[in-house]
Structure 1
Amino acid sequence: MKKIALPLLFVCLTSANLKAQDMQENVATDNNDFNKWSIEVSGGANKPFRTFTPGYRTDRVNFFTVDLGTRYMFNNKFGLKLDFGYNKFENNDDSPEFESTYLRGDIQGVVNLGRVLNFEDWTSVIGLLAHAGGGVYQLQSDNGFDGEDWGANLIGGFTAQLKLSDHIVLTGDVTGIANGFQNWNFDGMSQNNRTFDGVVLNGTLGLTFYLGGHEKHADWTTDVKSDELAALEDRIGSVETMMNDTDKDGVPDYLDAEPNSTTGVAVDTKGRAIDNNNNGVPDELESYIDAKNKEIVQNMGGGTDVKELINEGYVNVYFDFNKDMPNAQSTSGINFLAKYLKNNPSASADVIGYADEIGNSDYNKALSQRRAENVKKILVDSGIDASRLNIIGNGEDASVNKNNKQARQVVRRVTFIIKQ
């Protein structure tokens, strides 16, 4: 059955993924369930560059600037806006007096970078817009040239958004403007002969007001998946969950009658560890433990019993740094103790956890407690009565050089004391 079911599940999973991808491409994002219009009002400072008569200049931050605009979003990513701006340029203390006004009107494309870059994955109140386009400007000078200087401009910038409510947003904008066909310098005292020269940098704070009767504006509307696509993704998730193999025994969880079998131990077709003598210890592991017991006793001179080996710290369970579950290489220590307790039903044991000295002492105390508790749980799941196991969290073991990585590995452990 396993040989048939696995290929069928693989085919189903592949087909479902392909169908989901196809449906995802067809999900509509330009529905009408959001507001599209907004009005933008902002004010701030400016800095004009380059086209000045020698000796004339402004302050580094020049007040003031006013922007008014209206924006329409075709969907939650793209739109257009029409905006009007007013800038005032004045001399600083080191310049001859002048005062100029700069009026402009522009149409710009808008890209909602917050949606393009999936800001919704980490925030619901911060957004970012990019805008660029072109238009016309008019330059006037109060004490310079007479009349008006008209020309074209290119404009672009970025607008950061902080959502205050579903209908009001606080904005901060940085915009650059490049003028074309500018006949007069910004100070209005002399002419400019370059086709493209004048540059203005604006920095403003303002508010955006969303218009319409829907709950959300396009700026904050995420792509909505169809019910059919959502159901299909749920089905894919269920199939993927079924194919998980938690205990890594080669049998998927949906077919595994024993999904927590010991790693590396032979199992049958239903994922159950082979235990012919029904003592709760897999036969393969039991034979390994028996051989290891004999080897340890022989190395100790042949006169040492298993209880003494355990109590003297020859049987330990080790942990990786900052982990409270035993590493795969040391679970044999748990099985060693389990076999002893099953063969000696009157015995009980202290399960004692330790941590190394890296980090906060209180945290390490709690970590050593969790390590001991998790080893106890594994022993209980192996068939040992919980009342026979006493948990002790001993905290940090300072018996080794804490600057030595290998030495610290030795003290990240759980050890046992047998009591009769």
Structure 2
Amino acid sequence: MKNILTLSLVTLSLTACVNRDNQYDYIETPQPNQVADLQDDDTDGVINARDLCVATPDESEINNEGCGIIITSSNERHLHILFSNDSADIQPIFSSQIRQMVEFLELYPETSIEIQGYASKVGNEEYNLALSKRRAEAVDRRIESMGIAADRVTVVGYGETHLEYDGDDEMSHARNRKVTASVVGYQGDIKKEWTIFSRLPK
């Protein structure tokens, strides 16, 4: 008896939506009020309304704001050039060091470099100060001749005030006749999203 009563109620509710000609009454589709841009122009899975990075690189792993996750890497480059006694001439053996430094500066255009010149404690202190600066300027000219802008290079001469080797032997003097420089560059790489085509390093 209970089952028959339930079936009757279901039948009654269904027929209530049907008119006498067995046709459903037309209900007009409500007009949506869209308040946000639901499109995803850069197809990164984040709608335009909350996408803060509108040109996400393809295959990049993104955060909730639609921006690619960036991994920061750093590299460092050094110069260490030795000079003959009372000389500011760059010996050919050090040309590759300078070329590598130039390539580094080109790779990291936001970096600058300070070139530091030194001298041994042989001779007059004032003369050695000027000599150390001439050595640094010689390296500076070589770097700028290879396309690095002058405003990215600073030159300083220390003379014999910052000796690395304090001995009076010829080996110590030779090691103190030098130009050094170091620079650190930072670069960001987009972290790519893993796909079925990704390959792990062997």
**Correspondence 1:348 to 2:112:** yes
Residue 328 of structure 1 is matched in structure 2 by: 92
Distance 1:416 1:407 in 2: 20
Residue of structure 1 aligned with 2:142, choices 364, 368, 378:
378
Distance 1:390 1:419 in 2: 15
Q: Give the aligned length.
A: 112
Residue of structure 2 aligned with 1:399, choices 147, 156, 164:
164
State the secondary structure of the residue aligned to 2:159: strand
The answer on whether the counterparts of 2:74 and 2:184 sit within 8 Å (CA) in structure 1 is no
Distance 2:74 2:80 in 1: 16
Per-residue CA shift, 1:41-80, capped at 9, x if unaligned? Answer: xxxxxxxxxxxxxxxxxxxxxxxxxxxxxxxxxxxxxxxx
Q: Structure 1 residues 411, 306: CA separation in 2 closer, same or farther (over 3 Å shift)? A: farther
The answer on whether the counterparts of 1:317 and 1:414 sit within 8 Å (CA) in structure 2 is yes
**Correspondence 1:414 to 2:179:** yes
Distance 2:126 2:138 in 1: 19
TM-score, normalised via structure 2 length = 0.51
Per-residue CA shift, 1:144-166, capped at 9, x if unaligned? Answer: xxxxxxxxxxxxxxxxxxxxxxx
Distance 1:348 1:328 in 2: 24
Which of structure 1's runs of 4+ aligned residues deviate more than 3 A? Answer: none
Q: CA RMSD in A?
A: 2.0
Distance 2:175 2:149 in 1: 28
Distance 2:111 2:84 in 1: 29
State the secondary structure of the residue aligned to 1:384: coil
TM-score, normalised via structure 1 length = 0.25
For residue 332 of structure 1, report the CA deviation from its aligned partner: 2.2
Distance 2:177 2:74 in 1: 26
Distance 2:99 2:75 in 1: 13
State the secondary structure of the residue aligned to 1:395: coil
For residue 305 of structure 1, report the CA deviation from its aligned partner: 6.0
Residue 357 of structure 1 is matched in structure 2 by: 121
Counting only pairs closer than 5 Å after superposition, residues 21-420 of structure 1 correspond to structure 2 as 306-307=75-76, 309-310=77-78, 315-396=79-160, 397-418=162-183
Distance 2:184 2:152 in 1: 9
For residue 419 of structure 1, report the CA deviation from its aligned partner: 5.8
Please list every run of 5 or more consecutive structure 1 residues that lacks an aligned counterpart in the other structure: 1-303
Distance 1:321 1:306 in 2: 33
State the secondary structure of the residue aligned to 1:399: coil
